[in-house]
């Protein structure tokens, strides 16, 4: 067993303790200021599933709203979102952002044509606008769902899924998220599904990044990874630094 595998075995042994630590953190963020609850964007993927499950565990289902926001999304993601809601007793609502996306895109492209990645980022920003609309009205906080692996390489949309009020999973790699997901009772179909931001048809995280989550997580956990991908990972980390810091000012 190598260092990476040993780390995961160790995390598995302490996952219950880690779960309780994250539950306490959520309560501190919400109950400390006397706020009503939390809004979580639900994608059908593991990161939003774990975040939502932690929030329900911390606050109860009556204080957590999960929002499924399709925009020509694949049916499998909606199905998994509903499986999650049933499994963890999550209040799940739907806001179809497709019409807003269809209306906004031609207006932008009249000024500047957009490639597929930028169109996908626009969807992510519409989703965050939706979450904050609900949260503002309810007096709730928006929970971020980005994990440590994504944050390190900037695999999130600035002003989209990279924007929220607090993050209960920021220190967890993708592999640790899978362990915690099973402890929280997240459906297996979500845990084993290829990670995707659902920004365009057929899009997956690993295809877009150019390496696997194992490559990335091995580097984060052990400092080692395949030599041919280390340069790519560190390049993405460098150029995405602006996503992890408050904007500079003078």
pLDDT for position 194? 80
196 has binding-site annotation: yes
Structural domain that includes position 7: 3-243
**pLDDT for 207:** 81
Please tell me whether 48 is known to bind a ligand.
yes
Q: Is residue 178 part of a domain?
A: yes
For residue 150, being part of any structural domain is answered with: yes
pTM here? 0.94
Q: How far apart are CA 198 and CA 75, in angstroms?
A: 11
3-class secondary structure, 40: strand
- pLDDT of res. 126: 98
Which segments of the chain are extended strands (E)? 38-42, 64-68, 91-94, 141-142
In a domain, 135, yes or no: yes
Catalytic residue among 6, 20, 31, 47, which? Answer: 47
The answer to the question of whether 158 is labelled as a binding residue is yes
Number of structural domains in the chain: 1
- The single residue of 80, 144, 150, 198 carrying the catalytic annotation is 150
From the number of C-beta atoms within 10 Å of its C-beta (0-12, 13-18, 19+), residue 66 rates as: buried
Please report whether residue 172 resides in a domain: yes
Looking at the predicted structure, is the pLDDT value of residue 203 above 80?
Answer: no
Report the first-to-last Cα separation within the chain, whole angstroms.
51
Average pLDDT, the chain: 95
- 36 inside domain: yes
Q: Please state the rounded mean pLDDT for residues 134-159.
A: 97
Is 150 assigned a catalytic role?
yes
| Residue 248 located in a structural domain | no
CATH code of 18's domain: 3.40.50.620
* Residue whose pair of structure tokens reads 């990972």 in the numeric block: 233
Question: Is 125 marked as binding a ligand?
Answer: yes
| Closest C-alpha to 93, from 27, 155, 41, 35 | 41
pLDDT-derived band at 198 (thresholds 50, 70, 90) equals low
73 part of a folded domain: yes
249 belongs to a structural domain: no
Model pLDDT, residue 204: 78
**The pLDDT value given to residue 188:** 96
pLDDT in tens, 65-104: 999 999 988 899 999 999 999 999 999 999 999 999 999 9
Q: Is the pLDDT of residue 211 over 90?
A: no
């Amino acid at each position: 067993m190598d260092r990476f595998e040993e780390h995961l075995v160790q995390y598995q042994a302490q996952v219950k303790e880690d779960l309780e630590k994250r539950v306490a953190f959520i309560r501190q963020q919400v109950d400390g200021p006397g706020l009503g609850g939390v809004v979580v964007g639900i994608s059908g993927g593991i990161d939003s599933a774990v975040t939502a499950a932690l929030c329900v565990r911390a606050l109860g289902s009556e204080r957590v709203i999960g929002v499924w926001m399709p925009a020509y999304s694949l049916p499998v993601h909606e199905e998994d979102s509903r499986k999650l809601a049933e499994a963890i007793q999550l209040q799940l609502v739907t806001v179809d952002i497709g019409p807003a996306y269809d209306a906004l895109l031609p207006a932008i492209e009249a000024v500047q044509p957009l490639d597929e990645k930028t169109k996908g980022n626009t969807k992510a920003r519409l989703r965050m606008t939706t979450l904050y609309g609900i949260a503002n009205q309810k007096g709730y906080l928006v929970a971020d769902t980005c994990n440590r692996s994504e944050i390190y390489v900037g695999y999130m949309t600035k002003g989209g899924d990279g924007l929220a009020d607090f993050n209960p999973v920021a220190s967890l790699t993708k592999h640790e998220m899978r362990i915690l997901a099973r402890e929280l009772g997240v459906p297996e179909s979500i845990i084993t599904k290829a990670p995707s931001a659902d920004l365009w048809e057929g899009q997956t995280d690993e295809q877009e990044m150019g390496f696997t989550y194992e490559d990335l997580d091995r580097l984060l956990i052990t400092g080692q990874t395949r030599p041919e991908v280390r340069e790519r990972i560190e390049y993405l980390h460098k150029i995405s630094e602006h996503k992890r810091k408050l904007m500079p000012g003078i």
